[in-house]
């Protein structure tokens, strides 16, 4: 009986003491990584530029995504680059809070959007039409008071192997937003690429 216990206890110890997954350290996809989304976008990774990832779209127009997730375009607003500085590596305790600014192209009126980020899951499997991925889930919460009476939550699933956002959801709490949900329908990685993260 004692011999049996000596065999079982190490197994139980190993089963209950597996190390937590490492946080996701921001990086851009390898050049020539191609992702297609169900919102009709097709993006090919080109290079990293500081804390932004540069892609070319189907028309070969350069698109810039800060922290690999947020396009530097009118609807997404500005302020994310500095606001998320220090958030990565994305660990369970990671948090960020700042104001993003959107300027209306027509009127030039500036709108401020208090923005908060946290990590929902360091590793979570997610299924998309492009396949199943081991992803880090990041949550972006936007709450604005009148006249921008809006409150919504965006969730980003970042594939840990390719550093590509493979899914985004949008949950409205109050008001409306033009920011949309999307998911990857295809993901092609360069044959010479070596995985960066487990």
Nearest in space to 178 (alpha carbons), one of 152, 144, 145 = 152
Any domain includes 166: yes
Any domain includes 8: no
- CATH of residue 135: 2.40.360
Any domain includes 13: no
Any domain includes 14: no
- Inter-residue contact 45 to 30 (CB < 8 Å): yes
Q: Total domain count for the chain? A: 1
What is the structure's pLDDT at 17?
63
Any domain includes 4: no
Any domain includes 1: no
Q: Which residues contact 11 (CB under 8 A, 6 or more apart)?
A: none
**Has residue 7 got a pLDDT over 50?**
no
Any domain includes 3: no
Q: 3-state DSSP helix/strand/coil percent for the chain, to nearest 5?
A: 10, 50, 40
- Inter-residue contact 72 to 52 (CB < 8 Å): yes
Q: Where are the alpha helices (DSSP H) in 19-178?
A: 80-83
pLDDT digits (tens, 9 = 90+) for 84-132: 999 999 999 999 999 998 877 777 777 888 999 999 999 999 999 999 9
Any domain includes 152: yes
What is the structure's pLDDT at 165?
98
- Domain of 173, in residue numbers: 21-188
What is the structure's pLDDT at 73?
76
What is the structure's pLDDT at 10?
46
pTM listed for this prediction:
0.86
């Amino acid at each position: 009986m004692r011999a049996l216990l000596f065999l079982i206890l190490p197994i139980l110890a190993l089963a209950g003491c597996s190390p937590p997954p490492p946080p996701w350290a921001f990086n851009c996809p390898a050049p020539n990584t191609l992702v297609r989304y169900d919102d009709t976008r097709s993006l090919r990774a080109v290079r990293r530029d500081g804390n932004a990832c540069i892609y070319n779209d189907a028309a070969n127009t350069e698109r810039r995504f800060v922290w690999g997730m947020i396009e530097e375009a009118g609807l997404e607003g500005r302020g994310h680059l500095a606001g998320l500085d220090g958030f990565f590596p994305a660990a369970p305790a990671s948090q960020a809070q700042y104001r993003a600014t959107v300027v209306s192209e027509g009127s030039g009126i500036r709108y401020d959007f208090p923005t908060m980020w946290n990590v929902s899951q360091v590793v979570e499997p997610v299924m998309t039409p492009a396949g199943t991925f081991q992803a880090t889930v990041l949550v972006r919460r936007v709450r604005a008071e009148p006249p921008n009476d809006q409150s919504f939550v965006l969730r980003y699933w970042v594939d840990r192997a390719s550093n590509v956002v493979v899914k985004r959801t949008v949950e409205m709490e109050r008001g409306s937003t033009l920011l949309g949900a999307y998911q990857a329908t295809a993901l092609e990685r360069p044959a010479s690429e070596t995985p960066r993260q487990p």
